[in-house]
Amino acid sequence: MNTDWSVIANFMPQLLSGARMTIYITLVGLCGGMVVGTIAGLMRTYGNWLLNCTAMIYIEVIRGTPIVVQVMFLYFALPVLASIRIDPLTAAMIAIVVNAGAYIAEIVRGSLQSISRGLAEAGLALGLPRWKVLVYIVGPLAFRRLIPPLGNQFIISLKDTSLFIVIGVSELTRTGQEIMAANFRAVEIWSAIAVMYLIMTGTLTLLLRLIERRMKIL
């Protein structure tokens, strides 16, 4: 077996642009996922039965189906069903928003429910309206407990972007496959790609550690 690590340097510009695309999809997807997840989590925790049920169906449908099927549905089935045609990149970002949103909703619900009921009662007993109890007491405490499981989900979503190879989004994994198809340098290219994913997830982990350290869990 002869390996030639110098080929990596030749393909670096392509690999970097793939990594940029991966980061872009992840960032947009997770920002949206946080919004969707927070709303769905609040609906599950505090909503009336209708809101609760709606959120629950969303979460169960998404958690019960593979993300590859979800993105295939968005990209191939939606044009047929509703004549909505979206480009692969948009489909990829929506898939992360919808998918991460479902998991984040459960993380949000879990954190909110882990805060002792007595604290909410203490707030109510002072004469606070429910929303202020949530904003000033339960929310800030739940937020600290959110960070570790949220970090987990961020890493999973980042790696999930590699599955969008199926709709041809030119993220990092897809870029690797294209390079491979031209030069068959499997060991070098896939090693380089693995390291690049590790750098991205490592940075994410480090950032979350820093935030976690600044906020004691109470």
Nearer to another protein among residue 33 and residue 123 (C-beta): 123
User: What is the nearest approach in angstroms of another protein to the Cβ of residue 108?
Assistant: 18
What are all long-range contacts of 58-65, with beta carbons under 8 Å and residues at least 24 apart? 58/101, 58/102, 58/105, 59/102, 59/105, 59/106, 61/102, 62/98, 62/99, 62/101, 62/102, 63/102, 63/103, 63/106
In the shown chain, the binding pattern of residues 81 to 120 toward another protein, with x for contact by CB under 8 A and - for none, equals -----------------------------------x-xx-
Distances (CA, A) of 133 to 65, 126, 202, 203: 36, 10, 36, 35
User: What is the nearest approach in angstroms of another protein to the Cβ of residue 120?
Assistant: 9
User: What is the nearest approach in angstroms of another protein to the Cβ of residue 106?
Assistant: 24
DSSP class per residue in 35-63: HHHHHHHHHHHH--HHHHHHHHHHHHHHH
Near another protein in 141-170, by CB under 8 A: 141
Taking CB under 8 A as the binding criterion, the range among 6-14, 66-74, 127-135, 181-189 that sits at the site for another protein is: 127-135
User: What is the nearest approach in angstroms of another protein to the Cβ of residue 134?
Assistant: 12
Q: Which residue has the tokens 């190879």?
A: 165
Q: Which residue has the tokens 């739940």?
A: 142
* Residues 178, 68: Cα–Cα separation, whole Å: 20
Question: How many residues at the interface with another protein, by CB under 8 A?
Answer: 18
User: What is the nearest approach in angstroms of another protein to the Cβ of residue 216?
Assistant: 9
User: What is the nearest approach in angstroms of another protein to the Cβ of residue 140?
Assistant: 6
Nearer to another protein among residue 135 and residue 199 (C-beta): 135
Nearer to another protein among residue 126 and residue 199 (C-beta): 126
Nearer to another protein among residue 178 and residue 212 (C-beta): 212
Tokens standing for residue 57? 């169906």
Tokens standing for residue 28? 């947009």
* Residues 58, 77: Cα–Cα separation, whole Å: 18
* Residues 45, 57: Cα–Cα separation, whole Å: 14
In the shown chain, the binding pattern of residues 189 to 218 toward another protein, with x for contact by CB under 8 A and - for none, equals -----------------------------x
Q: Is 129 in the site for another protein (CB under 8 A)?
A: yes
Footprint on this chain of another protein (rule: CB under 8 A): 116, 118-119, 121-129, 132, 136-137, 140-141, 218
